[in-house]
Structure 1
Amino acid sequence: MTGGTARAWGIARGPAAAPVRVGARATALLLFTLLSGCIGDQTGATLQPAVVAVPAEAPRVIGRERTTADADHAKLVASFGGEYRAPAALKLLTEVTDRLVRATDRPEETYVVTLLDSPVINAFALPNGRLYVTRGLLALASDTSEIAAVLSHEIAHVTLRHATARTELALRSQLVSRVVADVLNDPVTGAQLQNQSKFALARFSRDQELEADGVGVKTLARAGYDAFGAGRFLRGLSRSTGMKTGTGQGGEPDMLATHPGTQERITLVTRAARLIGAPGLGVDERARYLAAVDGIAYGDNPGDGTVRGHRFLHPGLGIAFEVPAGFTIENTRNAVLGTTPEGSRRLLFDQVENPAGQGLDEVLKATWNDAIEAGSLESRTIGGHPAVTALSRGKDWTFRLAAIRVGETTYRMIMAAKGATDPDAAFRRWTESLAAVEAAETQALRPLRLQVVQATASDTVEGLAHRMQVPDRAIDRFLVLNGLDRGATLRVGQGYKIVVE
């Protein structure tokens, strides 16, 4: 979330610190220089610049891998919460991958699939043939053809050597910028060239995504899967993203995003599928897929913090709080974020570094971009803990801020209201709810999981959704999880995913 909190909120100004992750096992996301992160849930934990380098010509996964490659793999897996143990799901992913590879132009290549213990919807590939899929993505997909579409897209990145091409372009751009700045003694032009190269690299990466989509659909069809599975998955991704942003549809990326807009991708893959043939020519293997994902974990691991209704609990930190009515909250990699349906009010809870000797008022000033209103700093006691609160007014938003020290840890609680309205009343109720978690409550927490149920003649969408253990919008979540549209009717005897404890 370094420098990115305001973007996650959709607010132009705001937090600027580098907070420590609240809802995860690691304090930083370790990713690879040549990581091809593609099918991403771009509102949550997104793929960041690499800190662990992988050689551009990394060896294929054949025989014994190099020690460094093993170490890099271990770091990446750890950054996503570790490897998720689901033998049936991993067996399916491996068999689907093998079937897809045989349908590519490089059928001799070998791939290894790793399932990651992360609720984030994501999949990516390394040039050495390692494929990674999160359990969050497994939960979203509705059938085998959809998961095959994701894998086919990632395989296309590897066979097209996209990672190597991106690295070569980046190195050339850096070299030109450095020569102009240092050798020709023209730092201004060098900086301009470097900035232009970022846009060029972003456009290049976006073009690669579209190319991988096109090649992936062709491979999908050649392997005998339903070519329209790619479009169905992307629509599900868009709807899932829309539920998190509160817009009802997937948000468009900014100019430097490495992915084209989801709608653009849906249009491309649907057109490619139509050129191949009519819907129904390939198999979707829905029943097989549902059997493989039945029982897998859903959402956050309780030990990393979890949302239950309007209450957030973190057993490891020993804290909990409740948000005001009307807010929907989500535990992301770096913070707990909340928003009202219309987006006019937002909130954020995170953990920040508090150097020895630094007062809480200094923490707020050091971790906030905008000016703090003169005279608004107030020392208080919140839940028995020392705290400082303040008011900040931006161009379009009004913010209430708090820094609270619990033991040796310092947290920020921030609430924003659009316009000039001061959210102080709701902010005070929220901050005053911060309290220690009772041991009995911690022990009673159970991870959520997917359960596949067979629809009977008396079942309805509303009835099955009512059985879901989700914080809000149960019907919408049920529809998205099962690839259904509003007004859909259930098919007797067909399996459907619900979320249970």
Structure 2
Amino acid sequence: MSGGQTRHRGYGAVRTGLLVSTLILTGCSSDQSGVVLQPAAIKVPVEAPRTTGRERTASDADHAKLVASFGGEYRSPAALRLLTEVTDRLVKATDRPEETYAVTLLDSPVINAFALPNGRLYVTRGLLALASDTSEIAAVLAHEIAHVTLRHATARTELALRSQLVSRVVADVLNDPATGAQLQNQSKFALARFSRDQELEADGIGVRTLARAGYDPFGAGRFLNSLNRTTNMKTGTGMAGEPDMLATHPGTSERINLVTRAARLIGAPGLGVDERARYLAAIDGIAYGDNPGDGIVKGRRFLHPSLGIAFEVPEGFTIENTRNAVLGATGEGSRRLLFDQVESHVGQSLEEVLRATWSDSIEASSVENRMVAGNSAVTAMSRGKDWTFRLAAVRVGETTFRMIMAAKGSTDPDGAFRRWTESLSGVGPDEVKSLRPLRIQVVTAGPADTADEMARRMVVPDRPLDRFLVLNELERGAVIRAGQSYKLVVE
């Protein structure tokens, strides 16, 4: 958990369902039936003005801000050299071989890659850790390059601007606010559908570029399958499933089917190279998971050495550290929690902080002044349509933290909430010294090695066997082959 993070469209960002549930935790209480009817496509008049050209320039300041929002650049000369060489090879196989690209490796555990219209490509170290060979990372880059060559960003911006203009003209000039609002609502669905169609188009073009460059075209499907398995590990703990009608990406299963069909049209498996050994050598030793300086999860315990705080969530919760907050959920998803840092003004009481950062009503009789780990705190309750919330604002020195626990239905989560808040404590110097960053280590399997034995060597917060299998594209019961290289997560 650190500063705010800018969100970008990308290859396949793994976002937890808890990020979706943040909408619940921040007090939104929209009434949704669960059935979404897709409105008719927007009819944009032909006389509506068009945006001009394609912006190929971006300031160094904008680039620096974007990189900073993802934790800065990650220094790995071997990995960056591989990414650059693969990009150059792919560009020569596109319909625009004259265009230039620059790759930036981001110091983020999030699995993501994205491109800007000016030819800048961004790949996170989290995505590098998940991929298993060069053809897979080439598939990711080919997809992002396709977005640029197909001018997707410009087309999306143009549609958005034209839709906004039509809505504004209808509402303001023609004095028909109701129709203007309806058009604006329709535009959200149209833009989301447009973005999903662009993703599928980039997938198809990317597979063909992959094959033309001499890489295994089935690498795209293998990577998306690993991405899907990683997402499913989260859905098993109450996190997000497939996207809804307003999602900008199609479902991963749909994408896997599309890229697999596209690869089969090119040829049978075995076509092209995967360069697995080269890829594993390039990523050997890269960081894995959270940067301890931004906070780290160790089982049910969260520690943030820079902020000097730690806490432990109740049994049954799984937590994840994001750049904006610590999020958590029980396995069945009936309880969720959020911990973040909030702004407070000089002289502002903690009760005022809670009310200022919570959009639903707070029960006046539930407001309670308390001491939490020797720090001033105010707790309260809020009831939504489908969830019951317990809230706390805790002041530690000059910093104010917010702790929120939600229980589905009318059940009051007060018992678990109090155990969680009372676990808040400082972080001692010895504990800080014990925090070591995790990294990927590529090892060669011996004759007696099994998946279970190798998983026991993994230093991960939970489910070491599942994580070992996903990282190495293995299914349960798979035989470990002596002499073959495998990825482990170690300190």
TM-score (normalised: structure 2): 0.89
Q: How many residues align?
A: 461
Greater shift, 38-47 or 182-191, is seen at 38-47
Alpha-carbon offset, residue 242 of structure 1: 2.1
Is the CA contact 1:328–1:472 (under 8 Å) kept in the aligned structure 2?
Answer: no
Which residue of 166, 169, 184 corresponds with 2:174? 184
Identity %: 78
- List aligned pairs for 1:374-385, cutoff 5 A: 374-385=364-375
Q: Take 2:402 and 2:235, find their aligned partners in 1: how far apart are those partners?
A: 22
What amino acid maps onto 1:111 in structure 2?
Y
Which residue of 48, 55, 58 corresponds with 2:55? 58
- Per the alignment, residue 235 of structure 1 pairs with 225
Residues 1:29 and 2:5 are matched in the alignment: yes
Alpha-carbon offset, residue 204 of structure 1: 1.0
- List aligned pairs for 1:87-486, cutoff 5 A: 87-246=77-236, 251-486=241-476
Is the CA contact 1:214–1:272 (under 8 Å) kept in the aligned structure 2?
Answer: yes
Specify whether residues 247 and 266 from structure 1 end up closer, same or farther in structure 2 by C-alpha distance, changes over 3 A only: farther
Per-residue deviation, residues 20-67 of structure 1 (Å, max 9, x unmatched):
xxx12x3x3346xxx6523222328999xxxxxx996233xxxxxx6x
State the Cα RMSD in Å: 2.1
User: SS in structure 1 opposite 2:226?
Assistant: helix
Specify whether residues 499 and 349 from structure 1 end up closer, same or farther in structure 2 by C-alpha distance, changes over 3 A only: same
Which residue of 25, 50, 70 corresponds with 1:80? 70
- Structure 1: runs of 5 or more not aligned: 1-22, 48-53, 60-65
Greater shift, 178-187 or 344-353, is seen at 178-187
Alpha-carbon offset, residue 334 of structure 1: 1.3
Specify whether residues 364 and 271 from structure 1 end up closer, same or farther in structure 2 by C-alpha distance, changes over 3 A only: same
Is the CA contact 2:214–2:272 (under 8 Å) kept in the aligned structure 1?
Answer: yes
Q: Take 1:274 and 1:249, find their aligned partners in 2: how far apart are those partners?
A: 33
Alpha-carbon offset, residue 469 of structure 1: 1.0
Per-residue deviation, residues 242-290 of structure 1 (Å, max 9, x unmatched):
2223359961112111101111111111111111111111211111111
- Structure 2: runs of 5 or more not aligned: 21-50
User: SS in structure 2 opposite 1:351?
Assistant: strand
User: SS in structure 2 opposite 1:131?
Assistant: strand
User: SS in structure 1 opposite 2:55?
Assistant: coil
What amino acid maps onto 2:404 in structure 1?
I
User: SS in structure 1 opposite 2:59?
Assistant: helix
What amino acid maps onto 1:141 in structure 2?
A
Specify whether residues 109 and 352 from structure 1 end up closer, same or farther in structure 2 by C-alpha distance, changes over 3 A only: same
Specify whether residues 435 and 488 from structure 1 end up closer, same or farther in structure 2 by C-alpha distance, changes over 3 A only: same
Q: Take 2:190 and 2:417, find their aligned partners in 1: how far apart are those partners?
A: 43
What amino acid maps onto 1:463 in structure 2?
E
TM-score (normalised: structure 1): 0.88
User: SS in structure 2 opposite 1:316?
Assistant: coil
What amino acid maps onto 2:148 in structure 1?
V
Is the CA contact 1:180–1:187 (under 8 Å) kept in the aligned structure 2?
Answer: yes
Q: Take 2:239 and 2:346, find their aligned partners in 1: how far apart are those partners?
A: 44
Residues 1:489 and 2:479 are matched in the alignment: yes
Is the CA contact 2:317–2:331 (under 8 Å) kept in the aligned structure 1?
Answer: yes
Specify whether residues 89 and 44 from structure 1 end up closer, same or farther in structure 2 by C-alpha distance, changes over 3 A only: farther
Is the CA contact 2:388–2:410 (under 8 Å) kept in the aligned structure 1?
Answer: yes
